[in-house]
Amino acid sequence: MSRTNQLRDLYAAAISDVTSSGDAWREYLTFAASIYKYSFDNSLLIYAQRPDTSMLAPLPLWNQLGRFVRKGEKSIAVCTGTPVLNHLFDVTQTTGKPPPTLWNLEDLDTDELAGRLTSYDTLSLSEAITQLAQMAVLTSWDEWQQDVQHDISGHFLGAMPLRGLEQHIGDLITDSVCYLIHCR
């Protein structure tokens, strides 16, 4: 079986696993928040292959940073196109210079940041992030709605009243985006 087909099978199993319960979904979202630069599909593949991942890069980038992948380490495959695969390694698979530090909000004035995000309305940073996440979901909802309609055609969900289903899916997406951002 080709590596691409193995990844397709791994993806199908992973999507089933992470959507099996609310706890499994939250666990995945917490993980995805730590590798937020990857698409949903690739972060799911990463999660399925190595759920303890914290910082990823391809071999050439690790070498450029003065970190070197230990001999015998297995790469984490993600898709960068069809059928192009990219092979990544976690920082724990490397040795060498200290790794780059990840950003955090601990050194920032969160009230100032909230003000900048909301044109100085009286929101806390948490409220500002939630509001912006909700607006981002609404902005993309028409596109997502078409995807949902396509995905449920021929499925028992397709027989449900679309209005109620759309509301539940919209709430799930909004809550998931807010949770992911707050985790980060």
Contact 174, 137 (CB under 8 A): yes
| pLDDT tens readout for residues 72-108 | 999 999 998 767 899 999 999 999 999 988 766 666 7
pLDDT (average), residues 40-62? 95
This prediction's pTM: 0.76
Higher pLDDT, 20 or 110: 20
Tell me the percentage of the chain whose pLDDT exceeds 70.
87
DSSP string, 45-71: HHHHH-TT---EEEHHHHHHTTEEEPT
Average pLDDT, the chain: 84
pLDDT tens-digit series, residues 102-144: 766 666 777 777 777 777 676 787 888 788 888 888 888 777 7
